[in-house]
Amino acid sequence: MNAPTRKRVVVAGGGTAGWIAATAIIRQLTGLVDVTLVESDEIGTVGVGESTIPTIRTFHEFIGVAEDDFIRATNATFKLGISFENWGRIDDRYFHPFGSVGRSTFVADFQHFWLEARKRGFGGDYGDYSLEQHAAMAGRFAAAGDASLAYAYHLDATAYVRFLRGVAEQAGARRVEGRIVSVEQHAESGDIAALVLESGTRVEGDLFIDCTGFGALLIEQTLKTGFDDWSHWLPTDRAFAVQSEATSEPVPYTRAIAHGEGWRWRIPLQHRAGNGIVYSSAFLSDDEARDRLVDALDGPALFEPRLLRFTAGMRKRVWNRNCISLGLASGFVEPLESTSIHLVMIAVTWLIQNFPFGPDNTAVAEWFNARSRHEWEHVRDFIVLHYAATERDDTAFWRARAEAGIPDSLAARIELFREAAIAYQGQDDLFRVDSWVSVLIGQGLMPRAHHLLPATLPPQQLQGALGDLRRNIAGAVGQMPSHAQRLAQIANAARIRETI
């Protein structure tokens, strides 16, 4: 048999999105594609996406990345969830954990049992039944055994790019240095034909992946795809990002701290901390936002805070002609639930699974666009929930959130939970029932009714079952090593190998 003609894949732009795409495609489609990545050392990356969700672990398995190698290369720490502070009300705090909360039955999810216990005057906080929350607050971590945790990572985005580049180039991907000055299109089809660099070099391809960031050089500037603006639901449009010196051992969770005009993040790495402030320029000036961020740092800043401007929304089509956009070229939803890297990884996975090898890929592109839109809109709704389900009215920004509308899809979810404590996860939904319930209850939205199956249990039986859950969690956490010990084990393992 004759070997198939290799498809020429050209990735425009590096950064996290570009090197994720190049690495995954060359590792999974070796022999079927040639991968060329074009980037310029003169163009910096945003580099604020340092917090992830558990889907990154599945993706790393997919592309053959060993966890310990990744952690050492990126100074990563483990992440068990997000601590949300001042969101429902000022001085409130709740935790959105990875993993399951409590135990559900086939008939009724756990929140119904907890609500019945609360009605009877016992049961404690909803988070009392999360293994991940208790481990996070205790600074503990375990990845194996009976107490295995659901987790993700905090990572150094710049180091992650270097790590992925090494993997991709070793697998056969080619990097071309240079600034893209123009994009050539086929005269008849309108498809992209080549990238033209400042040096005069032309990089031809069959499939182009746009990772050029907010500029969206291929998908928007060239193909005029269009953009769906979501700023009426998500009005924050600016962020400052800065790294700071570490002042304590890293905790295994991200902090998202609401302020009068948006929120701040704190992401602990082994060697430093990532910090940022997200805000609406209609309610807060850039100077005020920068000062607010710097004043809140736990340690000295490592450089001057960097200003980012953005508009929430997504491309009308992320796959247009022979171009697929990833990352910021596809759109932007603020990183409140750490979904930025996930949206790149899931899109690359779908692309590899449904790669356009045929002469006509119209139906594939339509399916890809529909699935991508569902993913983006699902993430959008979950982010908007944090602003919609709140009692804050202490500033003009928060009062405006109460008056703003929300997507119909989210309104239906909120009403379902408010009416009957029902939360659900569709077949293709990213966020689980436990995530929706954790945020809804955490932000103070309590249902008017719940399933009455738990009401048939005698009080002693329900109280005993919940008490057993809490004791089992406490016992499991007590047996775990500290987060710092686990990171030290990974580092020491490398040192031992180096001496052998």
Quick: pLDDT tens for 349-390: 999 999 999 999 999 999 999 999 999 999 999 999 999 999
14 close to 211: Cβ distance less than 8 angstroms: yes
Please, which pLDDT band fits residue 493 given cuts at 50, 70 and 90?
Answer: confident
User: What local confidence, expressed as pLDDT, does residue 107 receive?
Assistant: 96
Helix, strand, or coil (residue 33): strand
Helices H, strands E: what count in the chain?
14, 21
In tens, the pLDDT along 96-118 reads 999 999 999 999 999 999 999 99
265 close to 275: Cβ distance less than 8 angstroms: yes
413 close to 423: Cβ distance less than 8 angstroms: yes
In tens, the pLDDT along 156-198 reads 999 999 999 999 999 999 999 999 999 999 999 999 999 999 9
Single-letter amino acid, residue 101: V
- C-alpha 489/C-alpha 497 separation (Å) is 12
Active site residue 79: yes
User: What local confidence, expressed as pLDDT, does residue 492 receive?
Assistant: 87
What are the structural domains, with CATH classification, of the chain? Answer: 7-77+155-230+312-362 (3.50.50.60), 238-309 (no CATH)
Q: What is the pTM of this model?
A: 0.96
Name the token pair of 110. Answer: 């756990």
Residue with tokens 């031992």: 496
Residue with tokens 């045929």: 358
Q: One of 7, 79, 224, 316 is an active-site residue; which one?
A: 79
* 46 pLDDT more than 80: no
Instruction: Report how far Cα 213 is from the mean position of its chain's Cα atoms.
Output: 16
User: What local confidence, expressed as pLDDT, does residue 148 receive?
Assistant: 80
